[in-house]
Copies of this chain bind each other. A is one copy, B any other.
Amino acid sequence: MLLFLDHGPVREIRLNRPPANALSLELIIALREAVESAPHNSSRALLLSGTPGRFSGGLDVPLLLSYDRPTIGKLWHEFYALLKALASSPIPIAAAITGHAPAGGTVLPLFCDTRIMADGDFKIGLNEVQVGLVLPPVILAALRRLVGPRQAERLAVGGILISPQQALAVGLVDALAPTSEVVDRAIHWCETLLALPAEAMSVTRREARKDLVACFGPYTEAELQGVAESWWSPETQSALHALTEKLGKKPASR
């Protein structure tokens, strides 16, 4: 599900779950463990990438529809833990958004240090509302941090998918590059940070991301239960099944 490629001190974690790099419970757990263990394996920066043309399709809805209540609870718990691991990573993480990145595919980069996106006919955005899901407050807070409250309200409430150029204009991504160069650009970004005086960079970075880590406040546990519970609302279930049929898939049997 994950490939690891070391470029000197920069470890690339490549999502590798065909066809769309959709997020399953197992992938979420593996990704968190990869993020948390990297600094102990002498990596000094991380790079999160996908397949050319497909960064990640977000949560694997057809699969998740086969999950029972405790497993959905565990999924959201692990997803929040992954986001918190990204936000509080002691080493920098660049997102190389190599292609389509709807929903969860947008969420992961929100918690990274920088976002470089493939400049092609791709979509990015938090379209959770479009598919019947409430956008979890922690994710909304991270979005607001990047694009400001006005754009966050517009994008989140409307569940709007946008182009890479539009994403650059509102600040949802930081730079564009040809698809074949996105990973190299992200490696270069990491190397530039690593060339700086290490202590000054790290301490300043921790302070600059303190507000992002603070999104995971004392109410996160209660919030998590609400998010997991809303999965089972009739409206959400109906929208998710409609989406799955549109994708031409049956809910996975488990």
Give the chain B neighbours of A153 by CB distance below 8 A: 113, 205, 208-209
Instruction: Say which residue of B92, B132, B174, B200 sits within 8 Å of A134 (CB atoms).
Output: B200
A173-209: CB near B (< 8 Å → 1, else 0) gives 0100000000000000000110011111101110111
Which residues of A, 195-244, contact B by the 8 Å Cβ criterion? 196-201, 203-205, 207-209, 211-212, 230, 233, 235-236, 239
Main secondary structure of the interface of A (DSSP, over half): helix
CB distance from A136 to the nearest CB of B (A): 9
Does the CB pair A157–B113 fall under 8 Å? Answer: yes
User: Is A254 an interface position by the 8 A CB rule?
Assistant: no
User: Is A156 an interface position by the 8 A CB rule?
Assistant: yes
CB distance from A69 to the nearest CB of B (A): 19
Could you give 20 example pairs across A and B, Cβ below 8 Å? A114-B154, A128-B200, A129-B200, A129-B201, A132-B197, A134-B199, A134-B204, A135-B204, A147-B150, A148-B171, A149-B211, A150-B174, A153-B209, A157-B193, A158-B192, A197-B235, A197-B236, A197-B239, A199-B236, A200-B235
User: Is A105 an interface position by the 8 A CB rule?
Assistant: no
Give the chain B neighbours of A102 by CB distance below 8 A: none
CA distance A230 to B128 in the complex (A): 45
Does the CB pair A196–B158 fall under 8 Å? Answer: yes
CA distance A132 to B154 in the complex (A): 34
A110-124: CB near B (< 8 Å → 1, else 0) gives 000110000000000
CA distance A36 to B212 in the complex (A): 36
User: Is A130 an interface position by the 8 A CB rule?
Assistant: yes
Does the CB pair B200–A132 fall under 8 Å? Answer: yes
Does the CB pair A239–B200 fall under 8 Å? Answer: yes
> Which residue of chain B has its CB nearest to the CB of A134?
B203
* A-B residue pairs, 9 tightest by C-beta: A153-B208, A132-B197, A134-B203, A157-B205, A199-B235, A129-B200, A135-B204, A145-B149, A146-B150
CB distance from A197 to the nearest CB of B (A): 4
